Structures are given as structure tokens and as C-alpha cells.
């Protein structure tokens, strides 16, 4: 699917085109650009496949003159994080270059009673056990870099 988005992005922006627009700078940092004379439901752009244009992630740079320049994000082949632990139920631990991310996720229905909440609470225990184990590994080996290869 990512490849299709990338291809579609190239097709949408294959030609240089100019559309006169109205621009609104909002105090929350958002920028709204609409073609002049645009009405709800109007279609000004098209793609070869007839699909909606893709979302393009990046950052907007504002100059003091009021000019705004959009810079698309550069895609890399490196994943943002690596999954390093999953208890198979509610807990996932991910690693970035600087951080560990602990994610415990359960539906709201799990909190209707203490009985339904028990498995979710067990994932907090699993997180504590994982942390304790990680600390022991670091104390015993001084580093964990060679241990991650086996996970």
C-alpha cells in the first residue's frame, strides 16, 4: 500500500501547476489553503486512478514575510521503532534509538468490573517483570546490544 501512495504522490505532483488560492493562517499553527472560487464538493485536482490524492507528511516552514513553504518528510528504509516484547494480550514494548515505549491497550469494556480488569492489570505486572529482567541483564552483561540480536 505504501508503494501505491508513493506512486500516486508522484502522479499527482508530476506536473507543475498553479492555482490561485486563499490562504488562512490560524493561531493554532494550521494553514488552510483553498482554491479561489472553491465550493464544497468541487473537484479541482484529479489523479490518473481517480482516487483521492494521498496525504503527504512533512513540515511547514513559515517565514516572517508570511510566505509558507511545505517540505515533505524524507522516507527512509529504517523503521521508527523495533518491537522487542509482546505479552500476547495487552502489553507491547517497542524500542527507538533513544527510548522504550510501553503500550498497554485494552477496550473500555475491560473496566466494567474487577474481574474483566484482571488480565489488563496482569500486563502491568508483565511490564514490571520485563523492566526487572532488563535491569538484571544490564547488570550482568554491562550492555544489552548483543542480547537484542537474539530477541
- Which residues lie below 8 Å from residue 92, measured CB to CB, with a gap of 6+? 83, 85, 86, 102, 103, 105
The CA distance from 94 to 65, in Å, is 42
DSSP H or E run through 36: none
- Do 118 and 110 touch, CB atoms closer than 8 A? no
The CA distance from 6 to 74, in Å, is 12
Residues 61-85 have pLDDT tens digits of 888 887 888 888 877 778 888 999 9
Phi, psi of 91 (to 5 degrees): -105, 135
User: Which cell numbers in the block locate residue 56?
Assistant: 503527504
Per-residue pLDDT of the chain (151 residues; tens, 9 = 90+): 455 555 555 555 555 567 788 888 888 877 788 878 777 777 666 666 677 766 778 888 888 887 888 888 877 778 888 999 998 889 999 999 899 999 999 999 999 999 999 999 999 999 999 999 999 988 887 655 544 544 4
- Do 151 and 84 touch, CB atoms closer than 8 A? yes
pTM, entire model: 0.49
Report the candidate in 89, 14, 81, 95 with the shortest Cα–Cα distance to residue 47. Answer: 14
The CA distance from 120 to 22, in Å, is 50
Amino acid at each position: 500500500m505504501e508503494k501505491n501512495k508513493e506512486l500516486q504522490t508522484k502522479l499527482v505532483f508530476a506536473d507543475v501547476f498553479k492555482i490561485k488560492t486563499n490562504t488562512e493562517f490560524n493561531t493554532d499553527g494550521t494553514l488552510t489553503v483553498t482554491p479561489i472560487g472553491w465550493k464544497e464538493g468541487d473537484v479541482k485536482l484529479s489523479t490518473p486512478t481517480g482516487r483521492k490524492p494521498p496525504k503527504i507528511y512533512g513540515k511547514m516552514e513559515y517565514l516572517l514575510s508570511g510566505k509558507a513553504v511545505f517540505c515533505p518528510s524524507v522516507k527512509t528504509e529504517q523503521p521508527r521503532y523495533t518491537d522487542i516484547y509482546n505479552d500476547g494480550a495487552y502489553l507491547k514494548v517497542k524500542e527507538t534509538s533513544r527510548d522504550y515505549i510501553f503500550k498497554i491497550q485494552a477496550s473500555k469494556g475491560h473496566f466494567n468490573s474487577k474481574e474483566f480488569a484482571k488480565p489488563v492489570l496482569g500486563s502491568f505486572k508483565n511490564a514490571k517483570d520485563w523492566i526487572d529482567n532488563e535491569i538484571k541483564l544490564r547488570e550482568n552483561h554491562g550492555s544489552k546490544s548483543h542480547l537484542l540480536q537474539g530477541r
